Amino acid sequence: MDKEVDLNKSVYELYSQHPEIVQIMQDIGFKDIANPAMLNTAGRFMTIAKGAAMKNIDMDIIKQAFEAKGFRVLV
């Protein structure tokens, strides 16, 4: 696994490094992330962990989804 996703970085920053995270996040339940306006506004300060808390999505599910796509998850 040479790709890493740091859950303390903003969604926008992660997207800039790995654009494929948008599809992974949509599959998990972050439907609004595909909206470019949302990504460019809220995505600049929102982290995956904060979004998970807001949407009540279990962090273990998020970690498993990213790991299944070849990412190493940093917390």
Domain ranges of the chain: 3-74
* pLDDT tens by residue, 11-43: 999 999 999 999 999 999 999 888 999 999 999
- Homologous superfamily (CATH) of 3-74 is SP0561-like (1.10.3910.10)
Q: Residue 53: is its pLDDT beyond 60?
A: yes
Beta bridge partners of 74: 6
Measure the CA–CA gap between 56 and 3, rounded to whole angstroms: 26
Is residue 4 helix, strand or coil? strand
Q: Is the pLDDT of residue 10 over 80?
A: yes
Residue position matching structure tokens 């796509």 = 69
